[in-house]
Amino acid sequence: MHALPSPDALRQILPSVIFDLADRFVTAGHELSLVGGPVRDLYLGRVSPDLDFTTSARPEETIKVISGWADNIWDVGREFGTIALKKGEHTLEVTTYRADAYDKESRKPIVAFGDNLYDDLFRRDFTMNSMALRLPDLELVDPFDGVSSLKDQSIRTPGAPDISFSDDPLRMMRAARFASQLKIEVSADVRKAMSEMTDRIDIISAERVRDELVKLINGADPRAGINLLVDTGLADKVLPEVSALRLEIDEHHRHKDVYQHSLTVLEQAIALETDQDGPVPGPDFVLRFAALMHDIGKPATRKFEPSGAVSFRHHDMVGSKLVKARMRTLRFDKETTKAVARLVELHMRFYGYGDAGWTDSAVRRYVTDAGELLEHLHRLTRSDVTTRNRKKADRLAFAYDDLEERIAQIAEQEELKSIRPDLDGQQIMAILGIKPGPVVGRAYKFMLELRLDEGPLGEEAAVEQLRAWWEKQPEAQEAITEE
């Protein structure tokens, strides 16, 4: 935690648009304060890109103050007292003091505009977000000791946490998100309230839960946020597959703790993210979420063998279906869902490579099946090694090094990422004398499989193989019979 800079230093640090806006409000006889996240972030040694303000002015008065000065004005949040504006490169939000009440069946507040800054700060989610800087003098207003909360690295609420979470249950997800983003813990009373009020999350839309989950996973310490969700029981509601990973360990410890293993895989995957110029720039939600969820098929597939061993056969395929279903429930977009599910499905494909070796055909299929996710799959597979057996870990690492080297060698020769059959659809139709239809698709698939198995054939050999395949197809036999 950093000390708050002096007012003179703040004037140098903060964008000048803040003070230009303040001058207009003060001149018009209104109060204006920078509030919430931007103030918290100053104590964390950074300037927030979000610029949020609270004011004594009503929405119509705010519009009057900024009209002719702002480049653009949006009043879609006017019902809730929020007016957004664009000035130069900055987007700002100005909200009238609020003193809301909440409907117990909804997180939507019964909007009531307030008349003072104290009440407005009291209604906010956490004490670290209940601080303001009065403008233009930059006087700190911290009635609920948000500074101490940051100093103690503890997430607390301005009022009783059970009331706060009952008013807006999404705040429980936000607590877990901040635990991840800011690497701080929740206070004991906040944790207790979260544990006792998990059912209240049911009134929150899947989309809002999803948005908080993404921020948590992309945070600096997602293990902390996930542990909080699981320990309080909130994960049973929003991510039950992760809670289910806490399999009961048998007395002989014949399998590892799947839950802790998954968190370790997540952390190891994060360590393999690249900078913005690399193939997997962090934070990468697809890689991180696949790492967390890669073993969620194990609880459903666990079997104790007669030998005493524990098996999880096909947990990769089961897990892929489970993660797809969960992400659909949370309203993730199709592309992200497909990517995570594909990585979960493929995460076991590599195992056995070091023992049995792979043909060039198998390497081509590995690359083709991964497609655009190949770099993600590399990192997920490497991260999935959490054994304390150094020899085993080294053997797997060396084997994957070898696989990547072979991929590079074959890719250099064959452009693996864009593998296509030696003949395209138009050529297939011309050679076989057929029209567009399902049979063309079958022929194309045959030629693609041939390409993966044998590498580039050249047009002449490809035509020969296509004709040999065609002779065995029922459509070809029907054509001969008709003649």
What is the pLDDT, as a whole number, of residue 456? 81
Q: Of 152, 184, 201, which residue sits at a domain end?
A: 152
CATH code for the domain in which residue 134 is found: 3.30.460.10
Is residue 270 located within the same domain as residue 412?
A: yes
Is residue 280 located within the same domain as residue 405?
A: yes
**Is residue 244 domain-resident?**
no
Is residue 112 located within the same domain as residue 19?
A: yes
Residue 249 has pLDDT above 90, yes or no: no
CATH code for the domain in which residue 232 is found: 1.10.110.30
| 120 vs 104: which has the higher pLDDT | 120
**Is residue 406 domain-resident?**
yes
- Tens-place pLDDT, residues 146-192: 999 999 999 999 999 999 999 899 999 999 999 999 999 999 999 99
**Is residue 252 domain-resident?**
no
Is residue 453 located within the same domain as residue 411?
A: no
pLDDT-based confidence at 128, cuts 50/70/90? Answer: very high
Is residue 56 located within the same domain as residue 186?
A: no
Within 8 A by CB and 6+ apart from 80, the residues are 95, 98, 109, 111
Q: Kindly provide the b/e burial profile for residues 141-161, where b requires at least 16 CB atoms within 10 angstroms of the residue's own CB.
A: bbebbbbebbeeebbbbbeeb
What is the pLDDT, as a whole number, of residue 411? 77
Q: Of 96, 125, 152, which residue sits at a domain end?
A: 152
Is residue 202 located within the same domain as residue 316?
A: no
**Is residue 201 domain-resident?**
yes
Residue 370 has pLDDT above 70, yes or no: yes
What is the pLDDT, as a whole number, of residue 251? 46
Is residue 75 located within the same domain as residue 200?
A: no
Span 104-116, average pLDDT: 75
Q: What residue numbers bound the domain in which 354 lies?
A: 266-416
**Is residue 258 domain-resident?**
no
Is residue 276 located within the same domain as residue 408?
A: yes
Is residue 343 located within the same domain as residue 353?
A: yes
Q: How many domains does the chain have?
A: 4
Is residue 399 located within the same domain as residue 358?
A: yes
**Is residue 260 domain-resident?**
no
